[in-house]
């Protein structure tokens, strides 16, 4: 994307002294619900009102959105509150209907981003329009696929572009609904610094009690905005109830968030340090997860030794591990003493796991 500085122009037109905020229910449910939430958000920091009209579901049978009728509700909410309206589109038909109802912002969901044919269909349907289009990251951590979606839209003449970081799916059980993989979004940010980057803490966390934490992390990384699912009665929402917050809670989140001001050298240091520390936190979390998995394997070894009446301590094997790890550590610029200390601790923990298993009657 050449001359990508133009991509940021649409964001600058909001003339905000705070990050862009997009908020509203996961799904439009009724006209009354859409209007009530919109009116409760109109006097806050929210600039764009979001509501899902078509809801892609992994399996059939769940609530899949109210469909085109919901677009009329968004039109009415726009007329009554002055908020811009946003919804998700997954094909050319969705785009056509959204344009007919003058929806201001369209986003492409994670399941659609993974399909270049679908993205191209949307890009072709949007050609010649001046709508803001946001591309969510694909379900899996694939930066090329994410950027490819943006490039297809850009090549179709869409210049008001941005991306939404909503986290990535994993089979592993973590505290997140979708793991953030912050380093991937940081890499995208470094490649295209003028492409507005918006964080979706609702889908990253899947839990309303973590929205504040992840929103702050995003702001510490200089994200341009947040998209947060908001509902007046979240516990009874028709979709994604656990991750939605009330408008009152949303306003409290805004009050508590720390937005760093650009103050020359101090800001530059704080911003870079925040990025590095979040990277460190991300790696530390992965280290803990890997250590947990390693100890689980050590436990399986303990069970096997118990079955065949084999001693826990195997010095030859231990020395082989230590020699191999110190050599690999040296290639990474890590001192021998450091590697020895770490693997001695890991070895001792492994032995403890195995001894418990062998001595269990």
Give the number of C-alpha atoms closer than 13 A to the C-alpha of residue 286, restricted to the C-beta side: 11
Does residue 300 sit in helix, strand or coil?
A: helix
* 71, 98 Cβ separation under 8 angstroms: yes
Q: How far, rounded to the nearest angstrom, does the alpha carbon of residue 278 sit from its chain's CA centroid?
A: 14
* Pairwise CA distance, residues 200 & 261, whole Å: 22
The topology (CATH level 3) of 4-259 is: TIM Barrel (3.20.20)
Higher pLDDT pick, 305 / 49: 49
- What does the pLDDT read at residue 300? 93
C-alpha dist (Å) from residue 91 to 3, 97, 138? 28, 10, 16
H-helix or E-strand containing 229? Answer: strand 225-229
In degrees rounded to 5, what are phi and psi of residue 268?
A: -60, -45
Q: pLDDT tier at 313 (50, 70, 90 boundaries)?
A: confident
Q: pLDDT tier at 242 (50, 70, 90 boundaries)?
A: very high
* Pairwise CA distance, residues 46 & 43, whole Å: 8
- What does the pLDDT read at residue 105? 98
Q: Where are the alpha helices (DSSP H) in 257-314?
A: 265-307
| Range in 17-21, 145-149, 352-356 with the lowest mean pLDDT | 352-356
- What does the pLDDT read at residue 107? 98
| pTM for this prediction | 0.78
- What does the pLDDT read at residue 140? 94
Does residue 159 sit in helix, strand or coil?
A: coil
* 201, 165 Cβ separation under 8 angstroms: no
The token duo for 244 is 């939605």
Q: What are the pLDDT digits (tens) for 259-308?
A: 865 555 666 777 788 888 888 988 998 999 999 999 999 999 989 888 88
Number of residues that make up the chain: 361
Q: pLDDT tier at 314 (50, 70, 90 boundaries)?
A: confident
- pLDDT surpassing 60 at residue 118: yes
* 167, 195 Cβ separation under 8 angstroms: no
- pLDDT surpassing 90 at residue 233: yes
What residue has token string 């859409």? 34
Highest mean pLDDT among 89-103, 276-290, 333-347: 89-103
| Range in 50-64, 211-225, 299-313 with the lowest mean pLDDT | 50-64
Q: What are the pLDDT digits (tens) for 159-176?
A: 999 999 999 998 878 899
* 128, 157 Cβ separation under 8 angstroms: yes
C-alpha dist (Å) from residue 27 to 70, 221, 299? 9, 29, 46
Q: What are the pLDDT digits (tens) for 180-209?
A: 999 899 899 888 888 999 999 999 999 999
Do the domains 267-358 and 4-259 match in fold? no
Q: pLDDT tier at 358 (50, 70, 90 boundaries)?
A: confident
Q: Residue 229: name the closest of 202, 256, 267, 260 by CA.
A: 202
| Range in 67-81, 122-136, 334-348 with the lowest mean pLDDT | 334-348
H-helix or E-strand containing 133? Answer: strand 132-136
* 202, 140 Cβ separation under 8 angstroms: no
- What does the pLDDT read at residue 266? 66
In CATH, the number for domain 267-358 is 1.20.59.10
Highest mean pLDDT among 96-105, 281-290, 323-332: 96-105
Domain ranges of the chain: 4-259, 267-358
């Amino acid at each position: 994307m050449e001359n990508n500085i133009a991509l940021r122009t649409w964001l600058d037109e909001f003339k905000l002294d705070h990050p862009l905020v997009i908020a509203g229910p996961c799904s439009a449910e009724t006209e009354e619900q859409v209007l009530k939430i919109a009116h409760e958000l109109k006097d806050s920091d929210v600039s764009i009102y979001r509501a899902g009209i078509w809801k892609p579901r992994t399996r059939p049978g769940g609530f899949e959105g109210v469909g085109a009728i919901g677009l009329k509700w968004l039109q009415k909410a726009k007329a009554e509150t002055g908020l811009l309206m946003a919804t998700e589109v997954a094909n050319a038909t969705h785009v056509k209907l959204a344009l007919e109802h003058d929806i201001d912002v369209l986003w492409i969901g994670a399941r659609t981003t993974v399909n270049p044919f679908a993205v191209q269909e949307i890009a072709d349907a949007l050609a010649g329009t001046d709508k803001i289009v946001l591309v969510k990251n694909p379900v899996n951590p694939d930066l090329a696929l994410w950027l490819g979606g943006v490039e297809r839209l850009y090549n179709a003449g869409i210049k008001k572009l941005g991306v939404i970081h909503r986290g990535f799916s994993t089979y592993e059980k973590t505290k997140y609904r979708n793991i953030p993989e912050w380093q991937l979004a940081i890499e995208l940010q470094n490649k295209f610094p003028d492409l507005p980057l918006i964080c979706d803490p609702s889908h990253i966390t899947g839990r309303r009690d973590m929205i504040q934490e992840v929103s702050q992390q995003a702001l510490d990384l200089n994200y341009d905005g947040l998209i947060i699912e908001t509902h007046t009665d979240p516990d009874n929402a028709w979709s994604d109830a656990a991750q939605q917050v009330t408008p009152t809670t949303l306003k409290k989140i805004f009050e508590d968030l720390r937005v760093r001001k650009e103050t020359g050298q101090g800001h530059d240091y704080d911003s870079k340090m925040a990025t590095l520390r979040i990277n460190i936190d991300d790696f530390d979390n992965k280290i803990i997860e890997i250590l947990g998995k390693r100890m689980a394997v050590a436990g399986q070894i303990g069970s096997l030794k118990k079955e065949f009446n084999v001693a826990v301590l195997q010095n030859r094997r231990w020395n082989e591990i230590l020699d191999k790890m110190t050599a690999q550590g040296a290639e990474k610029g890590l001192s021998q003493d450091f590697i020895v200390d770490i693997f001695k601790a890991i070895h001792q923990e492994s032995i403890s796991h195995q001894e418990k298993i062998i001595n269990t009657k």
